[in-house]
Amino acid sequence: MNKGIEIRDAHFPGRAPIDAYGNGGFRFADMSHRGSIFCLPSGIYGWEPKTPPLLGVGDIDRIIAEADQIEILLVGTGTDLRRLPEDLRAVLREYSISADPMSTGAAVRTYNVLLAEERAVAAVLIAVD
């Protein structure tokens, strides 16, 4: 019996450096993804901010689920540096996660370095054009 096309959330099951960013997306692991992404210990996930153009408390369930494997959360805030909301910072502190907002380009570069050093890093990267 043919069930037709199954639409699933975008997910790469593993850790991989980000090879390129821009044009509204990212390249990693010989693949490309249009839109924003989470880079977590369990993999890379497609993501659409609930509170655009920034990460909010409603967006972090997946991060909290893996909090025991994350010490540093890099937040790529697009082309402009944006301060994280205090309620979000407070929740992350409860889980001993240090959040560091920066432009998406800086977050990609920092993520790749920390990943290569096998650090307990995760990233939330807002896509840029």
The two structure tokens encoding residue 50: 């609930």
In a domain, residue 6? The reply is: no
Query: What residues make up the domain containing 44?
Result: 11-125
- Read off the pTM: 0.88
In a domain, 110, yes or no: yes
Is residue 3, in this structure, part of any structural domain at all?
no
Please report the pLDDT score of residue 91 as a whole number.
95
Residue 126: CA atoms inside 13 Å, Cβ hemisphere, count? 20
Please check whether residue 47 lies inside any domain of the structure. Answer: yes
- Identify the band that residue 6 occupies on the pLDDT scale cut at 50, 70 and 90: very low
> Of 87, 78, 90, 98, which Cα lies nearest the Cα of 24?
78
Q: How many domains does the chain have?
A: 1
Please indicate, yes or no, if residue 61 is contained in any of the structural domains: yes
Query: For 54-95, what is each residue's pLDDT tens digit?
Result: 788 888 999 999 999 999 999 999 998 899 999 999 999 999
Predicted pLDDT at 4: 54
Domain harbouring 118, CATH code? 3.40.1230.10
Is 5 a member of any domain?
no
Q: pLDDT exceeding 90 applies to what percent of the chain?
A: 75
Q: Tell whether 1 is covered by a domain.
A: no
57 by Cβ neighbours in 10 Å (0-12 / 13-18 / 19+) ranks as: middle
**Cα–Cα dist 30/81, whole Å:** 29
pLDDT in tens, 21-57: 999 999 999 999 999 999 999 999 998 877 677 788 8
User: For residue 113, is it within any domain?
Assistant: yes
Provide the pLDDT confidence category of residue 13 given band limits of 50, 70 and 90. confident
